[in-house]
Every structure is written in C-alpha cells, then in structure tokens.
C-alpha cells in the first residue's frame, strides 16, 4: 500500500466515521457582522483559545484557497489538533491489519453475510459506478464500507491530498507547529471493525445511504460549508443515522465525549489551538460544541 493509498484509507475511515451526522439542535450563535460566517467556532479557555473548524474531509483542488479567516486562525495557533495521525502507522502494518481483520476466510462471502435486500442495494450502487459486486465478495461489511466509499470519492473527483486534514497536516509540519492527534489510524480501524459485531450490515447500509446523499447534494453541502450556513448543513442531517442509534452512539456520541474532555484539558494549557474535526462531530445534541458548553466554554461562530 503506497503512501497515497494509506492516506486514502485513513481519510476514508474518518469519512465512514463522520458522514454528515450533524444533529438537530439549533446552530451556535454567530457574530453580528455583515460577512457570512465560516464553518469555524472559537472557544476561550483558562489559558488558551481554540478555533474549531468543521471539516467535510473531502475536498477538491477548487476548494482552495480557504477563507482568509480560517488561514488567519491557523497562523495564530502554535498547536494543531486533528482527528487521526495520517502518517503514524507504517504502510505494511495498516495493510496487514486491514486484510487480517476485514477479509473472510473459509468460503464465507459478503453476499452470504448480509440480507438479500442489502445485497440488492449494494449491487445497484456498484452497477451505477461500473463496479462488479464480485470484487468485494470476500470483504466483511465494514471493509466493504471503506472500500466502496473510497471508490465513490475518487469517482467524484476528490483526492486525499486536498482534504482539510491533509492540508493542515502539511501546513503544520512545514511550519513546525505542534501536532496533536485525538486518535490513531489503528484506533479508527479497530472501532469500525469491532464496534458492530453482529450488526456490521447496519454500517454498510448506512454508508450506502449517506453516499447517495453525498452524490446528490455534494455541491449544496460544499456551498453551505463555505458560507458557514449551519442551518443549511443541518437540513441534510439524519438522512440515515436516525435509523441506526447504535452507530450514532458508538461512532459519534461516545467519541465526542472523549474528544471534549481532551479539548477541555488542552484549553487549560498554554498555546492556542487550531482544531479540525469532522463537521458531524461539532453540532447538535451530543456534539463537541454542546459538550464544551456544558463544561463552561462558550462557542462563537467566526
């Protein structure tokens, strides 16, 4: 697995973990000015200020340059916080672990592991993309989710190097800023592979449903992100996760709680923070902004 492929794998783990579940709460307050806000919030802590940028993870080259307010916030912060380290694990380690955990042995197949209804939905999706179902036959449902999402984003013209995560990783390394990661790629892989024992089909179905939303609405979502339109982005929320409360709890709520604790601790240390998190983790009930507010940190959209 080449470095670029590894970035795709790690980014797609994040995608599967963060596909547009934005909650149903009202947007956080925005500043009273004429300029459209950006999809970024500031939080003042005892010893540090944090800027939390909501990321959609997938971007095209045309998505740059970013709004000057985002770049200004980045430049002001000596510490950069990202969801996962995109280069921490070796290529061979990730490849071997992924294959060991995600490939069926002894004649079992994806078609046998999920219901005929899901097989039909999967085949319909793959046929539309010109992909053969047999290519994914030995994949367990969680690995099929990653592989299919990867193919879909490539088809839509997204590249790993244009993601906000990759962009700010490169910037931070070049500027010699302190990089802090909330999870490792291995932890994200373990979460996807192990969190739904006996219910992996739900993850596959939810991923397929969200990919349909992304394909039909990606331009609208990108425009809403660019203008900081929280209400508009929230209108896309719960297109599928409302039917999968266990997925929402394990992939969003539980992780949000852990991240909010970590961020609150970082706010008690010197050095302002530029934090890039999947947009689905920021807003709504159980979102990071709400959890930080409960800890006494008010968030203001920029």
More confident residue, 220 or 172: 172
**Structure tokens given for 23:** 């909650």
Residue 67 has pLDDT above 60, yes or no: yes
Q: What is the pLDDT of residue 91?
A: 57
Q: Which of 106, 169, 104 is nearest to 142 (CA)?
A: 104
> If residue 102 lies in a helix (H) or strand (E), which one and from where to where?
helix 91-102
Averaged pLDDT for residues 29-40: 68
Q: How big is the chain, counted in residues? A: 302
Sorted by sequence, the CB contacts under 8 Å of residue 261 that are 6+ apart come out as none
Going by pLDDT thresholds of 50, 70 and 90, the confidence category of residue 21 is very low
For 176-217, give the DSSP string: TPEEEEEE-HHHHHHHHHHTTTT-HHHHHHHHHHHHHHHHHH
* Beta sheet of 178-183, edge-to-edge order: 178-183, 79-84, 273-278, 49-55, 40-44, 299-301
What integer best gives the mean pLDDT of the chain?
A: 82
Distance CA 227, CA 54 (A): 12
pLDDT at 57 over 80: no
Percent of the chain with pLDDT over 90: 43
Report the distance separating Cα 238 and Cα 2, nearest Å.
Answer: 35
Q: With 0-12 CB in 10 A as exposed, 13-18 as middle and 19+ as buried, what is 8? A: buried
Domain boundaries, the chain: 3-301
Q: Kindly report which listed range (91-100, 174-183, 200-209, 289-298) carries the lowest average pLDDT score.
A: 91-100
Q: Are strands 79-84 and 40-44 parallel, antiparallel or unpaired?
A: unpaired
CA-to-CA dists, residue 284 to 56, 156, 183, 293, angstroms: 16, 28, 22, 12
pLDDT at residue 154, rounded to an integer: 80
Report which of residues 235 and 282 the model is more confident about: 282
Q: Does the structure show a pLDDT above 90 at 138?
A: yes
d(Cα 84, Cα 101) in Å, to the nearest integer? 20
- Please state which of the ranges 1-5, 122-126, 209-213, 257-261 shows the lowest mean pLDDT: 1-5
User: Is 174 a residue whose pLDDT tops 80?
Assistant: yes
Lowest model confidence (mean pLDDT) among 96-110, 175-189, 218-232: 218-232
Of residues 13 and 121, the one with the higher pLDDT is: 121
* pLDDT bucket at 16, cuts 50 / 70 / 90: low
Please indicate whether residue 218 or residue 16 has the higher confidence score (pLDDT). Answer: 218
pLDDT of 79: 98
In 3-state terms, the chain is what percent helix, strand and coil (to 5)?
55, 10, 35
Q: What is the pLDDT of residue 105?
A: 86
Is the predicted pLDDT of residue 27 greater than 70, yes or no? no
The Cα-based distances of 86 to 11, 13, 44 in angstroms read 8, 11, 28
> How high is the pLDDT of residue 26?
34
Distance (Å, whole) CA 296 – CA 240? 32
According to the model, what pLDDT value does residue 2 have? 45
Compute the CA torsion angle 237, 240, 246, 249 (nearest 10 deg). -10
* pLDDT at residue 6 is higher than 70: no
Taking residues 197-207, report their average pLDDT.
Answer: 84
Which is higher by pLDDT, 146 or 185? 146
pLDDT at 70: 97
What is the structure's pLDDT at 168?
A: 94
Look at residue 17 in the predicted model and tell me its pLDDT.
Answer: 52
| Per-residue pLDDT tens over the stretch 236-280 | 655 556 677 877 888 889 999 999 999 999 999 999 999 999 888
The residue with tokens 């024992």 is 197
């Amino acid at each position: 697995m080449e470095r670029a492929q590894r970035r795709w794998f790690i980014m797609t783990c994040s995608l599967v973990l963060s596909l547009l579940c934005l909650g149903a709460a009202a947007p956080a307050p925005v500043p009273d000015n004429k300029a459209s806000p950006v999809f970024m919030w500031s939080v003042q802590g005892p010893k540090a200020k944090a800027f939390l940028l909501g990321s959609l993870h997938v971007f095209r080259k045309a998505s740059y340059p970013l709004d000057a307010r985002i770049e200004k916030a980045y430049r002001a912060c000596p510490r950069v916080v990202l969801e996962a380290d995109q280069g921490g694990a070796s290529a061979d380690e990730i490849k071997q672990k992924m294959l060991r955990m995600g490939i069926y042995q002894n004649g079992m197949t994806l078609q046998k592991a999920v219901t005929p209804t899901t097989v039909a939905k999967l085949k319909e999706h793959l046929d539309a993309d010109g992909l053969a179902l047999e290519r994914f036959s030995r994949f367990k449902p969680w690995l099929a989710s990653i592989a299919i999402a990867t193919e879909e984003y490539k088809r839509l013209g997204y590249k790993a190097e244009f993601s906000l995560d990759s962009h700010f990783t490169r910037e931070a390394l070049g500027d010699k800023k302190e990089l802090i990661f909330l999870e490792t790629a291995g932890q994200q892989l373990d979460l996807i592979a192990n969190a739904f024992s006996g219910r992996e089909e739900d993850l596959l179905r939810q991923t397929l449903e969200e990919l349909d939303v992304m394909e039909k609405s990606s331009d609208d979502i990108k425009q809403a992100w660019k203008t900081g339109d929280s209400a508009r982005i929230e209108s896309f929320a719960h297109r599928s996760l409302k039917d999968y409360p266990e997925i929402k709890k394990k992939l969003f709520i539980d992780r949000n709680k852990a991240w909010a604790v970590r961020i609150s601790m970082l706010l008690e240390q010197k050095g302002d923070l530029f934090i890039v998190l999947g947009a689905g983790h920021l807003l709504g009930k159980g979102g990071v902004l709400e959890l930080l507010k409960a800890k006494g940190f008010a968030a203001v959209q920029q």
